[in-house]
Amino acid sequence: MAERSAVTRSSPCRSNSCRDTGRPLDDVSAESAAAPEFGQSLIYLLHDVVKTRQAEGVAFRLRVPNLRIDRGEKIALIGESGCGKSTLLDMLAFILQPSSAGAFRFRPNGDGEPVDVNAYWKRDKINKLGDMRKRHIGYVMQTGGLLPYLTVRDNMNLCRSVLGMKRDGTVEHLAEELGIASHLGKLPDALSTGERQRVAIGRALAHRPAIVIADEPTAALDPYAAQKAMSLFIRLAEESNSTVILASHAWRHIKELGLRRLSHRTRRSKDRKLTETVVRG
């Protein structure tokens, strides 16, 4: 049941249903409401965040009228490629600047003032954003993103060593859990795609970040390996009490893992010049 609803709710951009919603695409204000309070357990609060991209006369717009992510939540963003999942994840990881934002707040720890991410972007403080990402966020890339000149151990230890964390067996423990302990001394080239992806998962978790963001971490794996890697990832993230934000194109791989699904809708304008995805949750 869940799978079918996924298809209807996050319908692919090419489907006809995109166009018969009858509401003009540029009507943003209809959904805008006053920015809600920043609760104690909130990590992310996004309000009217828009990212527009233009390429060869075709525009793509991602719109987030409201998004609240609580500490310890496990969020899933399901949809076909090209619908804007990566765009949202990149904005949440501070590696992509929103085109405009009503509010974009981030508070990795329960205490202290929430950080105004958009203000940092506007003042070009990408090093400040980088510092926050370094400390609080682990990122699993779709294609691993391992450094080919570092051994598996050093790749997994990269975030830790950048933070100046001592070697305390965390990397070895994670490698054990991920089933790559025997590869620690090898270079990524010597590993299979699946193994490399598990190294990438290990790297994102090794410095025990408050938030782990994963962009299609298992897209390159066969369905069986993907399911296994995904449940391993979620379990390890749970062990370290991390908040998980996950993008995937296949709900059936993760429906048993207890994730909260963000609803999103993709539509295309009549002249096919503008594609818009609206995410809320």
Dihedral sign of CA atoms 237, 242, 220, 262 in order: positive
In the complex, least distance from residue 130 CB atom to another protein, rounded to whole angstroms: 5
In the complex, least distance from residue 4 CB atom to another protein, rounded to whole angstroms: 31
- In the complex with another protein, the residue whose CB is nearer, 7 or 58, is 58
Residue ranges that bind another protein, judged by CB under 8 A: 86, 90, 93, 95-97, 126-127, 130-131, 133-135, 139, 141, 145-150, 158-159, 161-164, 187
- In the complex with another protein, the residue whose CB is nearer, 138 or 194, is 138
Note whether 51 and 61 are within 8 A (CB): yes
In the complex, least distance from residue 165 CB atom to another protein, rounded to whole angstroms: 12
Dihedral sign of CA atoms 187, 190, 195, 200 in order: positive
Q: Which phi and psi (to 5°) does residue 122 adopt?
A: -65, -30
Dihedral sign of CA atoms 41, 32, 116, 208 in order: positive
Q: Distance (Å, rounded) from C-alpha 150 to C-alpha 74?
A: 31
- In the complex with another protein, the residue whose CB is nearer, 58 or 147, is 147
- In the complex with another protein, the residue whose CB is nearer, 97 or 231, is 97
Q: In 3D, which of 44, 98, 103 has the Cα closest to residue 260?
A: 44
Q: Distance (Å, rounded) from C-alpha 145 to C-alpha 200?
A: 7
Q: Which strand ranges, in their side-by-side order, compose the sheet holding 74-78?
A: 137-140, 211-215, 243-248, 74-78, 260-261
In the complex, least distance from residue 133 CB atom to another protein, rounded to whole angstroms: 6
- In the complex with another protein, the residue whose CB is nearer, 18 or 214, is 214
Q: In 3D, which of 201, 185, 205, 209 has the Cα closest to residue 143?
A: 201
In the complex, least distance from residue 176 CB atom to another protein, rounded to whole angstroms: 23
- In the complex with another protein, the residue whose CB is nearer, 48 or 216, is 216
Note whether 245 and 70 are within 8 A (CB): no
In the complex, least distance from residue 97 CB atom to another protein, rounded to whole angstroms: 7
